[in-house]
Amino acid sequence: MRNPGVFHVDSEIVVPFFDVDSMHIVWHGHYVKYLEVARCALLERLQHDYRGMQASGYHWPVIDLQLRYIRGATFGQRLSVRASLVEWENRLKIHYLISDAETGERMTRASTVQVAVHIDSGEMQLASPQVMLDAVAKVLP
Domain with 89 in it: what CATH number? 3.10.129.10
Is 16 a domain residue?
yes
pLDDT above 80 for 1: no
For residues 8 and 80, the answer to whether their CB atoms sit within 8 Å is: no
Is 103 a domain residue?
yes
CA distance 58 to 118: 5
Is 2 a domain residue?
no
pLDDT in tens, 58-114: 999 999 999 999 999 999 999 999 999 999 999 999 999 999 999 999 999 999 999
Q: What is the torsion angle, in degrees rounded to the nearest 10, for the CA atoms of residue 95, residue 33, residue 139 and residue 57?
A: 110
**Counts for the chain of helices (H) and strands (E), in that order:** 3, 7
CA distance 85 to 91: 11
**Percentage of the chain lying above the pLDDT 90 cut:** 91
Is 1 a domain residue?
no
| Residue 35 lies in domain | 7-139
